[in-house]
Structure 1
Amino acid sequence: MVVVSSLGPLRPLHPLHAILLAFPFPLFLAALLSDLAYRSSLHVQWANFSSWLIAGGLLVGAFAVLWALVNLFRPATRGGRAIAYFVVLLAMWILGLVNALVHAKDAWATMPEGLYLSAVTALLALVAAWIGYSGFRTEGVA
Structure 2
Amino acid sequence: MTDTANTLYRRTPSPLHATLLAGTVPLFLGALLSDIAYFKTYEIQWSNFASWLIAGGLVFCGLALLFALVNLICAQPKTGRPLAYFLLLLLTWVLGLVNAFEHAKDAWASMPSSLIMSVIVTLLTCVATWIGLTNLRSGGAK
Gaps of 5+ in 1: 1-6
CA change 1:78–1:14 in 2 (3 A) is: farther
Q: C-alpha separation between the residues in 2 aligned to 1:92 and 1:67?
A: 15
Match of 1:44 in 2: 44
**Could you tell me which amino acid in structure 1 is paired with residue 111 of structure 2?**
M
Of stretches 67-76 and 116-125 in structure 1, the one that deviates more from structure 2 is 67-76
TM-score (structure 1 length as normaliser)? 0.87
For 2:3, the equivalent position in structure 1 comes to none
1:45-64 CA deviation, whole Å, 9 max, x = no partner?
00000000000000111000
* Cα-Cα RMSD: 1.9
User: Aligned residues, how many?
Assistant: 133
Contact 1:32 1:119 in 2 (8 A): yes
Paired position in structure 2 for 1:113: 113
Code of the residue aligned with 2:98 in structure 1: it is V
Q: Tell me the CA shift for residue 22 of structure 1.
A: 1.1
Q: Percent identity?
A: 53
Change (3 A) 1:125 1:91: same
Higher Rg:
2
Q: Name the CA shift for 1:23/1:77 in 2 (closer, same or farther; >3 Å).
A: farther
Measure, in 2, the Cα distance between the counterparts of 1:75 and 1:100.
32
TM-score by length of 2: 0.87
**Aligned-pair CA distance for 1:136:** 5.7
Question: Secondary structure, in 3 states, of the residue corresponding to 1:106?
Answer: coil
Contact 1:76 1:138 in 2 (8 A): no
Partner of 2:4: none
Per-residue CA deviation, residues 59-93 of structure 1 (Å, 9 max, x unaligned), is: 11100011101111104574310000000000000
Structure 2 residues without counterparts, runs of 5 or longer: 1-6
